[in-house]
Amino acid sequence: MQHPESSSSEYLEELPGDKTQFKCIICSDQSDTQDIIFKRNSKSSHLKSKQHHLSHTLAPSFASLPTSHFLDKLLESLDEEETDDPPNPLDDIMMDEDGVFIDRDGQPLVFSAGESQSAQLARQDAAVYQRLDDLDLLERHLLFGEFDDSRTAEGPDGFFEDSSDSIVAQISAAIEALVVNDNDTNEMDGDEEMHDSFEPTNSSDWFPHPSKTSFMLDMLDNLPRLRLSDDHLKAIIWYWNRIIKLLRRTQKRLASEFNLGPEHHVSSLGNHFFMTHPTKLFAMDWANPLVRKHLHVYPEISMAISETYQANWTSANRHCHFYMNELALTSNCDYVIILRWVTVDGIVYADVLHTRAEERTSSIHIDVISDQQSRIPAHLLIQNFPDLQATYPGPGGIVFSNHSPDQYTSVNPLRVKAKGRPVFRLRVIPWSDDVSGNVSKQYNVHTNIYVTNANLPHQKLSQEYFIRYCSTSSVASSSEQFVALCQDFCEDRWTEADDCELKQDILFQIIPHFLPADNPQQSETASHIGVNGYRNCRRDKIGGSEVEKESNVGYESLYHPGTPRTVSETIETIQSQVRLACRGSPQDVAQSCTLTGVKDKISQFWIEQILAKFKVLSEQRLKNPQTCDPQLNDKNVKNEARKAVITWITDEIEAELWGWVTTQPKASYDKLAENDSTQNCLRPGDHFNLLLCTQGVDPHKDTPGAMLHTWLLGNNKYVWYLTNTAWSPENEAIFAVRLQCSFLDGLTIAPPRAEYIIKYKNSLIGKHFKTIQQLAIFHMHTMCSPEVFELWKTTGELGAFLWVPEIRDMDTYLHDLQILINNLLDRWAAVEPRRIITKIKIHVLDLQLQRRLGWADDASIKAGAQSQTESGQVKLSPIPHTGTARGQRQARPWAVCTQGITIHNGLDFANDIQTSNWNACSLVISRSKDLCRVGSWVFFGHKMDRLIGRIIKILSRSGVKTPSEDSYILLQHFQVLNENDSVLNMPILVDAKSVFGVRPKDIIFNFNAQHDCINGKCKIIHSTSHVMQERIETEKLKKVVEHSDDTRFFLNMHGLHNAHLIREALPRRLVAPTRFVDDRVAFHKRLAAGLQITGVEKRALKQAKAAATRAKNKQAKEAAAIHTENQ
C-alpha cells in the first residue's frame, strides 16, 4: 500500500504567484468548506498528519454504503493479499523531523524483536473489523442523519444531500471541516493561517459560532439537566475528540464577548459566593428572536386575567419616544400628559391627563386638569415633549400654570439617560430554595437563587429554559445572596441590550414582582421568626399563647386576616433588637423576637457578636475590680448611686458597641461618603434584610403561598393522613382498586399508580396529592365518616378554584373563593377544632385574598399550570387513526340508528353516514386545543346552545384530501339535570338517548366525568386481564370496578383541567358555592368553649408527662452514679 508521503507531488501543488504556499489537492477535495493551504515549511508535518492520512484513505469514495456482500469480498481480498505477499512492518513506519520513529497515526514506536505472522494477521483483522464497526456507528448515529432502506442519508446540516457522494467521504468532510479548526500544536504546527481562516465571521448564519456543528456541540455541552465532562464529550463525538479544544476555546471566547461570567461577592457576614446577575441573562431575551416575540412590556387591559406580563411595544413612529409624565400632542391637536401605557386587545393605549392649552405667537400656556383622564390609542400621539420644545423654544416657550403638578412640567430625567434609545422596565420573579448539592442521597445543603421574567407568558415560564439560575452557596444564606441580587433592582441601574425586534439598542431596568418560595424561606425573606413562632404568620400579627388562641376572641381571629405587618415596623423592631443587644440583654432580645415574630437572619449575626463583645467589656468595666470604674470600688457608693454608675457605664458600652456595629462590615463602611447620613445607622444589606428596603416589593405582602407547600403538602396532606390512618388493610385495597379504575380522560394527570399510593401513603409528594384531590371524592363512600367526607368535598371544590388559568369576572371569583375558603376552614373546625391553632398553613389560606391575584400567578409558575384556552375558534382536522398497515383504516358502512336513538344534524348527514365509506380517526382537536378521543366527554356547540356529549366515532369521508372538508364527530348526548347531586354536590349527567353529528369546529372543550358508582352500587370483580410484572404477564387477574350501567355520570367539578370553562358553560345555580355555616362567629365561639376545657386538660397532662420523664431521667442518673461508685 502506498504511503501518502511517498508521492507528495500527486497531492500538492504550488499556488500560482506564490511559491511559498502549497495546496493539498486530496485534502481540499474532501473538505466542503475551502481549500487546504499551508506554508512550504509545513509540508512535512501536513503529510504526516491524521487529516491528510484520512483524506488519502477516503479518496476513492464509494457511491453508497458498502453492503455486507461487498464487505465479505473486502475481507477475503485482504486475507488473500496478506497470504500471498506478507506485509512489511517497516511500510507503516516513518521518521519525523526530530528523528523519532512514528506510525501512520503519529504515535511513537517502541521497537521489539518483532511479532509472528499470525499475530500480525490477527492485529490487522481486528483493525479492519474495528473500522467496520466504526462505519456502522456512523451509519446509526443521529448526528449524521437518518438512513432509510436505500442506504442513503439525509443529514440535518445538509452534508448528505448529494447521494452520489460517498457517505464515508461526506462524513469525513464534515469531520475535517471541524477538525481543521483545532489548532493542535502537535499535528498542525505551522498551520496558523489555516486555523485563522476558520474563525467565525459576521456573515455566518450561526455567528458567533463558526458553524452549526459548533453551535450544536456547545449546546450539548451545556445541557441543564446533565453537564458533560470532556471525557463524555469525547465519547459522544467519537473520532472528533480533537475538536474538544476548539469547543472549549469557542466557549471561552463567547463567554468573554458576552460577559456572562459570574461575579464574585462577599456578604456582610464575610461569606464568599458567585452570582450571574439577572440583567445579563435578561439582556439575552431582548436579542433572542425566539424569546423577544413573547415579551410583553406594557400593562394589558383585558376581560380575562391570566398573566403577570404587560403587553406589546408599538412599532409606529419608532424614532419618536414618548415618556410618562411628559406633555405630548395628539393628532387631534390636544395637549395631554401621559400617565401610563397599557394594551387592550393587543393595541397600545396611553392613559392621559387632559389640559387646557392657549397657543400664542412664540409660546404656549398649559393648564393641567388633574381630574380629567381618558385612554387614547398610542398612534394618535404625534409630537413628544422635545418636539414641542423645538416648536416653542426658549425659557418661556412652554409655560405651565402655577397649580400644575411639578412632575408634569419638565422633561422626564430618563430621556437624558436614554440618549434617544427606547427605555423599558421588566418585572422579574426572584426566589430562593435550599437543595442538596450531592447526586447521592447524602444531604449537602446549598441555597440557590433563581429568577424568571414575569413579562413572559406562563406557558413559557413553565419551561425549564426560562428558569434562570443566578447563584448558589453552601455557606451564604438567601438573605446574603439577595443583597447581591438587589444590586440589579436599584432605581438608577439601567442595562443596555440589543432589541432584535426594534433592531436597535435599548435600555431596560428590572424590578421585582413578588417573592414566591416555600413557607420557611418566605419567613426568612420577610425577616420572620418562622411558622413555629409565638407570632407565627409572616403577613400579619396573629398568634399568641395557646391560652390566648383558645379564647373566644383569639380563636375567632385565626379565621380572619389580622393586623398586617409593615416594613417600617419590622425595620424598627430589628433596630431595637440590636439596641437591646448593645445593652447586653440576650433575654430581652429573645423576648422581642418571640413577642413580635421578627427575627432577621443578618441582624442576628451582628447581635451574637455584640453580645459576645458586651460580655467582655462588662467584665472589664463592671465586674473585674482591677479594671472596672473606680467608683464601683468605692464602698461609699451604694444603692441608687451605684445603680446610676452602672447605668452610666452600660450606656457608654452601648454607645461604643453601636458605634462599632455601624462601621461594620469594614469594606462596605469605607465606601460611604464622608457626609453620608447612614454612617451612624444600621444599613440594609449590611445589618439587616435588604429586601425590606427594596423598591417595588414588600416581603410581607408579596410572598404568596406556594401551591405545592401550602396547599398540596398542607391541607391535602392533612386530610389524606386524617383519612387513611383509620383504614384497615381491606379498606386500603378497596380504595386502591377504585382509584386505579378512575376515568382519566379530561384530566392532565398520569395514571395514578394506586397501589404505590397506598403502600407509601405517608411518603407521597405533590403530584400524588394533586391526583387524589381530583379523584378521591368519587371513591370515599363507605370509606370515612360523613364529616371527613364533607372535608374531602370542600377540599376538591376549593382546589379546582385555586388552579384556574384565567379569571374573567374578578368580583365573582373573589366572592366564590371567599365562601370556599370559609367552608374549608369551618369544615376543619368541625372535624378538628385545634387544627387551625397547630397548623399555620390552614390560617394563611384566608390571607390569599389580600394578594388577590398572587395565587393565580404563583400557581401557574410554580405548579406548571398552563392555559391552553383561546377565545377564537381553532378549526383543525381530525387526525386519522394509524394502524399496523401504513395509511388510514377504512370503516365499513354501519347503521347508527338503533331503537330509541335519534340522530340530529340534518337528513344529509343521516343519509350519508349509512351510504358512504368513512375513515375512523383517532382524535380531534377542540377549540381549546384539547385532544379529544373516542370516549372523551366534551362540550359542543349545536345551533345557539352548548350541549354535553361523549364521542362515539370520529369520521372523515374516504377520498377527501383534507379531512376537515368532510368530517363528522358522532356524540352520544347527555343531559344535565337541574339540581346537583345531594352527596357530591356535582352536576348529574344522564343519557338523553340521542346522537349528534357535528363538525370538528363545534367541539368546544373536553372535561372529565366519573360514573355514579354510589347510586349504581358498583362492585369490585376479577377481570380477564392479567397483572403485568417486569413486563411479563402473570397468572394473577386484575381487580376492577364493574359499573352497573352507562347512563348516569357525575361531571367532575374537582378536576383542574378546563375548570374555568366548565363554570362558564354551566348555569350559575350549578356552580355557585353555598355557605356551610351562616353564623360563623357563633359556630367558632362554641368550638372555643370546648377548647378552653380540653386545652387545660391537655396542658396538665403534658406537664405531668414531662415531670415523670424528668423524674425518670433523674433516677437513672443517680443509679448510674451509684453504679460507678461501687465499681
Which value, to the nearest 10 degrees, does the dihedral of the CA atoms of residues 15, 16, 20, 25 take?
10
953 touches 912 (CB < 8 A): no
Q: What is the mean pLDDT of residues 439-465?
A: 87
- Winning range, highest mean pLDDT, from 163-177, 393-407, 488-502: 488-502
867 touches 306 (CB < 8 A): yes
pLDDT at residue 934 greater than cutoff 50: yes
Q: What is the CA radius of gyration of the chain?
A: 39
The sign of the CA dihedral 75, 80, 81, 82 is positive
- The 10s digit of each residue's pLDDT in 750-799 is 999 999 999 999 999 999 999 999 999 999 999 999 999 999 999 999 99
- The 10s digit of each residue's pLDDT in 839-894 is 999 988 877 654 544 443 444 333 333 333 322 222 233 444 444 333 333 333 33
The pLDDT-based confidence of 661 (bands split at 50, 70, 90) is very high
For residue 1115, give the 3-state DSSP assignment. Answer: helix
Whose cell is 374516504? That residue is 958
- This prediction's pTM: 0.71
What is the overall mean pLDDT for the chain? Answer: 79
* CA distance linking residue 285 with residue 223, whole number of Å: 18
* CA distance linking residue 932 with residue 1005, whole number of Å: 8
Helix then strand count (H, E) for the chain reads 41, 35
C-alpha cell at 111: 521497537
End-to-end CA distance of the chain: 92
The pLDDT-based confidence of 444 (bands split at 50, 70, 90) is confident
Q: What integer pLDDT is reported at residue 756 of this predicted model? A: 95
Q: What is the mean pLDDT of residues 143-151?
A: 37
The pLDDT-based confidence of 65 (bands split at 50, 70, 90) is very low
Q: What is the mean pLDDT of residues 111-136?
A: 55
DSSP secondary structure letter of residue 350: E
Q: What is the mean pLDDT of residues 484-506?
A: 90
Q: Quick one: which of 838, 779, 773 has its CA closest to 800?
A: 773
The pLDDT-based confidence of 149 (bands split at 50, 70, 90) is very low
Which long-range contacts link 717-723 to residues 24+ away (Cβ below 8 Å)? 717/764, 717/769, 718/835, 718/839, 718/842, 719/788, 719/791, 719/792, 719/795, 720/761, 720/764, 720/769, 720/772, 720/776, 721/762, 722/788, 722/791, 722/831, 722/832, 723/780, 723/783, 723/784, 723/788, 723/792
Tell me the backbone φ, ψ of residue 369, rounded to 5 degrees. Answer: -100, 100
* CA distance linking residue 243 with residue 927, whole number of Å: 49
pLDDT at residue 177 greater than cutoff 80: no
DSSP secondary structure letter of residue 882: B
Size (the chain), residues: 1127
* CA distance linking residue 755 with residue 740, whole number of Å: 8
DSSP secondary structure letter of residue 683: -
**Better-predicted residue by pLDDT, 10 or 260:** 260
Q: What is the 3-state secondary structure (H, E, C) of 36-100?
A: CEEEHHHHHHHHCCHHHHHHHHHCCCCCCCCCHHHHHHHHHHHHHHHHHCCCCHHHHCEECCCCC
Q: What integer pLDDT is reported at residue 203 of this predicted model? A: 65
The pLDDT-based confidence of 11 (bands split at 50, 70, 90) is low
Q: What is the mean pLDDT of residues 43-60?
A: 70
The pLDDT-based confidence of 109 (bands split at 50, 70, 90) is low
pLDDT at residue 312 greater than cutoff 70: no
The pLDDT-based confidence of 89 (bands split at 50, 70, 90) is low
Q: What is the 3-state secondary structure (H, E, C) of 369-392?
A: EEEEEEEEEHHHEEECHHHHHHHC
Q: What integer pLDDT is reported at residue 308 of this predicted model? A: 64
Q: What integer pLDDT is reported at residue 84 of this predicted model? A: 47
- The 10s digit of each residue's pLDDT in 563-610 is 999 999 999 999 999 999 999 999 999 999 999 999 999 999 999 999
pLDDT at residue 805 greater than cutoff 50: yes
For residue 450, give the 3-state DSSP assignment. Answer: strand
Q: Quick one: which of 239, 249, 253 has its CA closest to 51?
A: 239
* CA distance linking residue 1008 with residue 14, whole number of Å: 77
Q: What is the mean pLDDT of residues 1089-1104?
A: 91
* CA distance linking residue 251 with residue 245, whole number of Å: 10
